[in-house]
Amino acid sequence: MTNAFTLGGMPVDLGELAYMDYDHNKIHEGEMFMAHYYAGTLGAGGTLMLHLDAGTISPHLLFEVAVGGDSRVTVTEGGTLTGGTPVSVFNMNRNEAGSCLSTVKHSGTLTGGTAIMDVFVAGGSGPQSSGGGMRANHEINALPSKTTSITIINITTAYPASVGVVWYEENE
């Protein structure tokens, strides 16, 4: 007979030391979500936007950006989105059917809001450039019942681009 319990769905025998960081545990519990959008070719001077419209619980966000050339990336909170195309949201634990309160769209028109991040992402140049990317190292505890948007602005020639967001919802 074994003396076991579970930690984030993983069996752990008593007497063992088990460690799982909080975000990873959220995946195992079926409470971590993701949405991504690949734009194909982003024209020179073009923009790619992804918007997360939060429900009544604060989403804890990590954004991911991949670009084939130099770009400017901004994060805006509290703007008003007009239009936009829904993006599928997936539970990161593919064995769980849990859902979230937030919805995600790409494109549309964003007016107003407060820019809380504005950075340059180097994509490289020349025949051996590798493109650029960024992933937030620290989550943003976004405002509940508000829209948080990430915008990629192409500042070079046309290139492929994608943007994504990973989050869980919690009022802490």
CA distance to 9, 20, 106, 120, 122, per residue, from 45 (Å): 46, 43, 17, 14, 15
What the block records as the tokens of 134 is 């960024």
For residue range 87-126, what is the model confidence (pLDDT) as tens digits?
A: 999 999 999 988 999 999 999 999 999 999 999 988 866 6
Q: 64 with 164: CB under 8 angstroms?
A: yes
Closest C-alpha among 107, 119, 122, 133 to residue 156 = 122
Tell me the C-alpha distance between 153 and 45, whole Å. 7
Number of neighbouring beta carbons within 10 Å of residue 12: 15
- Tens digit of pLDDT at every position of the chain (172 positions): 455 556 655 666 655 656 677 887 888 889 999 999 999 999 999 999 999 999 999 999 999 998 888 899 999 999 999 999 999 999 999 999 889 999 999 999 999 999 999 999 888 666 656 666 666 667 899 999 999 999 999 998 889 999 999 999 987 6
Assigned fold of 8-169: Jelly Rolls (2.60.120)
Instruction: Round to whole Å and give the CA distance between 16 and 117.
Output: 42
**pLDDT for the residue numbered 16:** 61
Q: 59 near 143, Cβ under 8 Å?
A: no
Quickly list DSSP for 69-126.
Answer: S-EEEEEEES-EEES-EE---EESSTT-----S-EEEESSEEES-EEEEEEEE----S
Select from 46, 64, 69 the least CA-distant residue to 123. 69
- Hey, which residues does 33 pair with through a beta bridge? 91, 167
